[in-house]
Amino acid sequence: MTEVSTKQDPGAAVTAAPGPRPRRRRPMLTYLAKRLVITVGLLLGVTVLTFGLVQVVPGDPVTANLSDQALNDPAAVAAFRAKWGLDQPVHLQYLHYLGNLLTGDLGISQQTGRSVAEDLLQYVPATMELAIPTMLLALLLGTGIGMLAAVRNGRLTDQVIRVGALLGLSTPPFWLSLVVLYLFFFQLGLSPSGGRLSPGFTPPDTVTGMYTVDAALAGQWDLAWDAAQHLVLPVLVLTCLTVAILVRFVRSSMLEVLQQDYIKAAYAKGLPTGLVLRRHLLRAGLVPVITVSGLAFASLLSGTVLVENIFGWPGLGQYAYRSASALDLPAILGASLFVALVYTLVNLTVDLLYGLIDPRIRIQ
Amino acid sequence: MSVNPRRLRVAALALAAVSTASVTACTAGSGGGGAAGPTDTLTVNTSFVLKTLDPGRVYEATGVTTTHALYDTLLTFKGSDVSKPVPELAESYEASPDAKTFTFKLREGVKFSDGTPLTADDVVFSLNRLKNVKASPAVMVTDLTASKTDDRTVVVTSAKANPNVPVVLAMSATGVVNSKVAKANGATDGADAASADTAQQFFDKTSAGSGPYVLKSYDPSSQVVLEANPNYWGGKPKFNRVVLRNMDVQTQKLTMSRSTAAEVSLDISGKLLDGLPDSLQTSGVQDTVYYLILNADPAVSKVTSDAKFRQALRSAIDYQGVAALFGKGAGPGAGLVAPAFPGTLTGEESKRDVAQAKQLLTDAGLSNPTVKFTYPAITYRGVDLGTVATKVQGDAAEAGITLELNPQPLTTFLDQMRGGKMPMGFTPQSLNYPVADSLVNNMAPGAGSALRAGWTVERAAPSVVAAGEKVVSTLDPAQRAEAMKDWQREMNAHGPYIVIANNSGMNVATSDLTGVEYTPAGWQLDLAAIGTR
């Protein structure tokens, strides 16, 4: 990342020498423009790679989509190939896709028969409805618990937290999903078993695609409440896994900062512990944590196949999985492009946040 | 360092407490079960296999179950009896002696859900569209042509003698659509329908049938909601609303274990049935066979193409042991026709004889033969196919045969199997429609699936070919069933298939429901027939 530089001496005065009026520079705009160009190139690369990978994967969309008997009927096979453009040479298929992509057309999914854009508009909000509360909870808990572990370094609290984090990281998501389902639904009867709504309810009119939000916007509070209940268990599972990641990074980062002279100086000056932790430790220790949080958030937005599957959550993960299973190329490409875009945007946001959190880091 | 972390610790604990409390608070009022809402809702849990609700294209299990409730067919099956179709839209029908012409008299007073009367034109349009769209279900009607003689009479002709036409016309894919509405939304029954018909998206949002239910909402990865058709010509269904929910099979088991009313699951079978509460009712029929495929082409495998090797492997397998792996509702393999259908080999289950297997290997001059054994790495109806493959591997090893397990993703497996280069494979099979004759068309020497196993007419014993021809040429249903048995015996003696087990599809329902019989007709459950005690 050459565009971002670190000033090690934020207190140094900068004096401008007299001379001709300097050219007006807009480093942020230049930076964003460069990132945009890189993003376009990246997305193009994703289409090439995905298209290529689907071609080399052993498997034929025809055999994945037609019945056994239909495969014995040359007319049915030919009709399928013609309908989905599979009778064209691969390079023409790709160029055709690219041409459509430039007009915003992501193609039609072989699985759903709908446009991929329409599918994404339906499944992405469902995943976002899981990802946003998960990330908020995980940031809150991960930061707090990680800081506690750092401050109590080497003591019993720290040991317990470290073991807990390790357990969280080692626990397979599908297993944890089944356990919480067994506990909260089957044994305690406290939660619904899965899905986004109870069978008796009809989804709210789409505004954001997130049922809790849309129901609240429409004033359908019983519906919003039901949707919120269905969120709890998958969010709980995803939060546990994300917190485990964050705790380790927060602890490690905070431990490093705690060794800095300015922290010792702050305590030596008699500043209250809370103030030291909030103003000096937290801010300085968060920079590396932001990177991990960004990646974790991007990962959540990209869909969590196993958790979505067990909780019957119709999100992007399930969509991508189903598409891959059926070699549904337009849908695979659409999902891949979306995931690439998410990672690019999240990384950009993380880079910009560096500057906000740490004044030593500025775009030159 | 003199850091006092008390406040920080308290803060962290408080956060954790808030989080836990939010979980409890959010869930405390649910009362469990998740079945809130109107009491006239029937909930059906199933792991969705669903691409479309367009009757001209529907093929996958969940789609077939749903479209059966949305669209009426000329004939149908009631309950689990698939021996003879009964009238639905057609109040009667006649078959010509040569089994090539079938004349259907339509019921009077039938209306589509929008109130439009259903006529012979709609039937003809629907059948011709199904044929010309050329999607997966079209193979059932490739040889059929529909025409009308008046508004209440439809004639279906078959290019070949086919006594099973009435059965085909009971399948969900032959459901009758409102032709005017369909045409207005991109449907066509023309010869170019494969490319010109654009109505799938319409049928995925709106139903245009005369069935007991209409489509309220459709999400292929989450849920499908049906509501009772106010213009239905038959008896009003008990439940005004049916919600089919996409649910992982393990979650289905947990859900049914807590459910008390108006709920059915379609995927809990085999070992998963263990531990369910006694209060639940189950209904199942053995309608699926699991078989091994041994390539008969010497260029693919010198070992599997040897008829004696195939018989040796057949003798080496512990069929009872394999069936036990499937759990309740399973049985040892006998023939290619599952017990649910006419023509099954009752009481002729295959038996193990390891000594005979060894002798056959010796006779074939094969010492420690090794074969790559490919199978799809999936769980089907609650059974991990890898477990079954491992059992077969162990049985074969006792006879001196080495099977190298080669699990593959489903699409890769299908591609390899259909490519005809797989020495040995393993797959489950269910029928497209409840008549086993289609097996002859597909698996007899020289037929589509047989060719993928390298089994040409030239490589087959003449007696197998003759047995298959006898099935096809026999028009009387009872005699045809007997011919099917003879054909299977010949297939077992000479063919490249070894049927190792039969397994059941299963409906699990709460005790308050009636009419939840499992049907091997294809739609598994007749939603409109479900009532309460």
Let me know if residue B489 belongs to a domain: yes
Q: How far is it, in rounded angstroms, from Cα B506 to Cα B519?
A: 9
Give B282-307 as a DSSP string: EEEEEEEEEEEEE---TTT-TTTT-H
Q: How far is it, in rounded angstroms, from Cα B110 to Cα A168?
A: 60
Q: How far is it, in rounded angstroms, from Cα B102 to Cα B93?
A: 7
Let me know if residue B17 belongs to a domain: no
Confidence of residue A358 (pLDDT cuts 50, 70, 90): confident
Closest residue of chain B to A203, computed from CA coordinates: B217
State the pLDDT at residue A22.
61
Query: Chain A partners of B219 at a C-beta cutoff of 8 Å?
Result: 122, 314
Share of chain B above pLDDT 90, in %: 74
Average pLDDT, chain A: 85
Asked whether the predicted pLDDT for residue B522 surpasses 50, the reply is yes
Q: Specify whether B313 is located in the same domain as B414.
A: yes
Query: Chain A partners of B63 at a C-beta cutoff of 8 Å?
Result: none
Q: How far is it, in rounded angstroms, from Cα B388 to Cα B404?
A: 14
CB-side exposure of A166: number of CA atoms within 13 Å? 6
CA–CA distance from B49 to each of A306, B67, B168, B222 (Å)? 17, 13, 22, 11
Strand partners, A257: none
Asked whether the predicted pLDDT for residue B380 surpasses 90, the reply is no
Contact A267 B245 (CB under 8 A): no
pLDDT single digits (tens) A116-164: 999 999 999 999 999 999 999 999 999 999 999 998 898 999 999 999 9
pLDDT single digits (tens) A49-64: 888 888 887 777 887 7
State the pLDDT at residue B256.
94
A11 Cα to chain B: minimum distance (Å): 27
Contact B415 A58 (CB under 8 A): yes
Contact B1 A202 (CB under 8 A): no
Closest residue of chain B to A320, computed from CA coordinates: B221
Nearest CB to B26; choose among A75, A76, A228: A228
B20 Cα to chain A: minimum distance (Å): 9
Question: What is the average pLDDT across B187-211?
Answer: 93
Query: Chain A partners of B250 at a C-beta cutoff of 8 Å?
Result: 178, 310
Closest residue of chain B to A158, computed from CA coordinates: B9
Q: How far is it, in rounded angstroms, from Cα B122 to Cα B160?
A: 24
Query: Chain B partners of A179 at a C-beta cutoff of 8 Å?
Result: none
State the pLDDT at residue B149.
95
State the pLDDT at residue A5.
43
Q: How far is it, in rounded angstroms, from Cα B282 to Cα B264?
A: 10
Boundary of a domain, candidates B148, B170, B198: B198
Q: How far is it, in rounded angstroms, from Cα B106 to Cα B146?
A: 14
Region of A8 please: left (phi>0), alpha (psi -120 to 50) or beta.
Answer: alpha
Closest residue of chain B to A327, computed from CA coordinates: B411
A1 Cα to chain B: minimum distance (Å): 35
Query: Chain A partners of B19 at a C-beta cutoff of 8 Å?
Result: 137, 140-141, 239
Confidence of residue A24 (pLDDT cuts 50, 70, 90): low
Nearest CB to A193; choose among B11, B28, B251: B251
State the pLDDT at residue B18.
45
Asked whether the predicted pLDDT for residue B209 surpasses 60, the reply is yes
Degrees, nearest 5: CA angle A118-A119-A122: 90
Do A267 and B2 contact (CB within 8 A), yes or no? yes
State the pLDDT at residue A20.
63
- Helix boundaries (H) for B354-461: 354-364, 385-398, 410-419, 437-443, 448-452
pTM here? Answer: 0.82
CA–CA distance from B142 to each of A251, B69, B129, B204 (Å)? 68, 24, 11, 24
3-state secondary structure string across B154-202: EEEEECCCCCCHHHHCCCHHHCCCCHHHHHHCCCCCCCCHHHHCCCHHH
Q: Under DSSP, is residue B4 helix (H, G, I), strand (E, B) or coil?
A: coil
Let me know if residue B255 belongs to a domain: no
Q: Specify whether B309 is located in the same domain as B451.
A: yes
Nearest CB to B255; choose among A73, A193, A267: A193
Query: Chain A partners of B62 at a C-beta cutoff of 8 Å?
Result: none
Q: How far is it, in rounded angstroms, from Cα A128 to Cα A304?
A: 11
Let me know if residue B416 belongs to a domain: yes
State the pLDDT at residue A363.
57
Query: Chain A partners of B187 at a C-beta cutoff of 8 Å?
Result: none
Share of chain A above pLDDT 90, in %: 35
Q: Taking CB atoms and an 8 Å cut-off, how many pairs form between chains A and B?
A: 246
**Lowest mean pLDDT: which of A50-54, A314-318, B50-54?**
A50-54
State the pLDDT at residue B6.
55
Boundary of a domain, candidates B150, B182, B198: B198
pLDDT single digits (tens) A194-221: 889 988 888 899 999 999 999 999 999 9
Cα B78 versus chain centre, distance: 17
pLDDT single digits (tens) B413-442: 888 888 888 999 999 988 878 888 888 988
A338 Cα to chain B: minimum distance (Å): 19
Confidence of residue B516 (pLDDT cuts 50, 70, 90): very high
Interface test mutation site (partner B, options A66, A68, A180, max chain B beta carbons within 10 A): A68
CATH number, domain of B97, equals 3.90.76.10
Contact A190 B219 (CB under 8 A): no
Contact B204 A112 (CB under 8 A): yes
Contact B23 A230 (CB under 8 A): no
The domain of B364 spans 287-504
Contact A79 B223 (CB under 8 A): no
Question: What is the average pLDDT across A56-83?
Answer: 78
ipTM, 2 dp = 0.74
Q: Specify whether B464 is located in the same domain as B320.
A: yes
Contact A312 B246 (CB under 8 A): yes
Q: Specify whether B317 is located in the same domain as B423.
A: yes
Nearest CB to A236; choose among B23, B28, B133: B23
Interface test mutation site (partner B, options A198, A238, A271, A316, max chain B beta carbons within 10 A): A198
A123 Cα to chain B: minimum distance (Å): 9
Question: What is the average pLDDT across B474-502?
Answer: 94
B221 Cα to chain A: minimum distance (Å): 5
pLDDT single digits (tens) B242-267: 999 999 888 899 999 999 889 999 99
Asked whether the predicted pLDDT for residue B17 surpasses 80, the reply is no
Topology (CATH level 3) of domain A116-171+237-357: MetI-like fold (1.10.3720)
Let me know if residue B409 belongs to a domain: yes
Q: Under DSSP, is residue B90 helix (H, G, I), strand (E, B) or coil?
A: strand
A324 Cα to chain B: minimum distance (Å): 9
Residue A191 tokens read as 């939660």
Contact A58 B412 (CB under 8 A): yes
Do B103 and B93 contact (CB within 8 A), yes or no? yes
Boundary of a domain, candidates B174, B198, B222: B198
Q: How far is it, in rounded angstroms, from Cα B84 to Cα B78?
A: 9
CATH number, domain of B476, equals 3.10.105.10
**Lowest mean pLDDT: which of A303-317, B148-162, B298-312, B496-510?**
A303-317
State the pLDDT at residue A26.
75
State the pLDDT at residue A90.
86
Q: How far is it, in rounded angstroms, from Cα A37 to Cα A42?
A: 9
B241 Cα to chain A: minimum distance (Å): 9
Contact B255 A199 (CB under 8 A): no
Asked whether the predicted pLDDT for residue B4 surpasses 60, the reply is no
Contact B221 A322 (CB under 8 A): yes
Question: What is the average pLDDT across B83-92?
Answer: 94
**All structural domains of chain A with their residue ranges:** 36-102, 116-171+237-357
Of B410, B415, B313, which is closest to residue B371 (Cα–Cα)? B313
Amino acid letter, B212 = P
State the pLDDT at residue B412.
84
Q: Specify whether B300 is located in the same domain as B441.
A: yes
Let me know if residue B381 belongs to a domain: yes
Of B44, B157, B147, which is closest to residue B507 (Cα–Cα)? B44
Region of B135 please: left (phi>0), alpha (psi -120 to 50) or beta.
Answer: beta
Query: Chain A partners of B379 at a C-beta cutoff of 8 Å?
Result: none
Closest residue of chain A to B244, computed from CA coordinates: A199
Residue B306 tokens read as 């040897």
Contact A264 B195 (CB under 8 A): no
* Domain tally, chain B: 2
Neighbours of B91 (CB within 10 A): 14
Let me know if residue B415 belongs to a domain: yes
pLDDT single digits (tens) B118-156: 999 999 999 999 999 988 899 899 999 999 999 999 999
Confidence of residue B490 (pLDDT cuts 50, 70, 90): very high
Nearest CB to B448; choose among A64, A72, A186: A72
Strand partners, B223: B245
State the pLDDT at residue B297.
95
State the pLDDT at residue B30.
37
Residue B268 tokens read as 């809990």
User: Which of the pair, B14 or B28, is modelled with greater confidence?
Assistant: B14
State the pLDDT at residue A357.
74
User: Which of the pair, B6 or B51, is modelled with greater confidence?
Assistant: B51
The owner of tokens 């689990």 is B80
pLDDT single digits (tens) B90-99: 999 999 999 9
Closest residue of chain A to B412, computed from CA coordinates: A59
Torsion angle defined by CA atoms of residues A271, A272, A273 and A279, in that order, rounded to the nearest 10 degrees: -70
Let me know if residue B165 belongs to a domain: yes
User: Which of the pair, B371 or B36, is modelled with greater confidence?
Assistant: B371
Provide the strand spans (E) within B71-172.
Answer: 75-76, 86-87, 90-95, 101-106, 144-150, 153-158
Question: What is the average pLDDT across A259-274?
Answer: 87
Q: How far is it, in rounded angstroms, from Cα B495 to Cα B472?
A: 18
Question: What is the average pLDDT across A321-340?
Answer: 89
Q: Specify whether B192 is located in the same domain as B296.
A: no
Closest residue of chain B to A145, computed from CA coordinates: B12
3-state secondary structure string across chain A: CCCEEECCCCCCCCCCCCCCCCCCCCHHHHHHHHHHHHHHHHHHHHHHHHHHHHHHCCCCHHHHHCCHHHHCCHHHHHHHHHHCCCCCCHHHHHHHHHHHHHCCCCCECCCCCCEHHHHHHHHHHHHHHHHHHHHHHHHHHHHHHHHHHHHCCCCHHHHHHHHHHHHHHHCCHHHHHHHHHHHHHHHCCCCCCCCCCCCCCCCCCCCCCCHHHHHHHCCCHHHHHHHHHHHHHHHHHHHHHHHHHHHHHHHHHHHHHHCCHHHHHHHHCCCCHHHHHHHHHHHHHHHHHHHHHHHHHHHHHCCCHHHHHHCCCCCHHHHHHHHHHCCCHHHHHHHHHHHHHHHHHHHHHHHHHHHHHCCCEEEC
Task: Round the CA-based radius of gyration of chain B to a whole number and report it.
Answer: 26
Confidence of residue A4 (pLDDT cuts 50, 70, 90): very low
Q: How far is it, in rounded angstroms, from Cα B243 to Cα B44?
A: 6
Contact A226 B36 (CB under 8 A): yes
How deeply is B97 buried, as exposed, middle or buried, from its count of CB atoms within 10 A (0-12, 13-18, 19+)? exposed
Average pLDDT, chain B: 90
Share of chain B above pLDDT 70, in %: 93
Q: How far is it, in rounded angstroms, from Cα A83 to Cα A116?
A: 16
Q: Under DSSP, is residue B213 helix (H, G, I), strand (E, B) or coil?
A: strand
Asked whether the predicted pLDDT for residue B200 surpasses 80, the reply is yes
User: Which of the pair, B401 or A2, is modelled with greater confidence?
Assistant: B401
Residue A316 tokens read as 């992007």
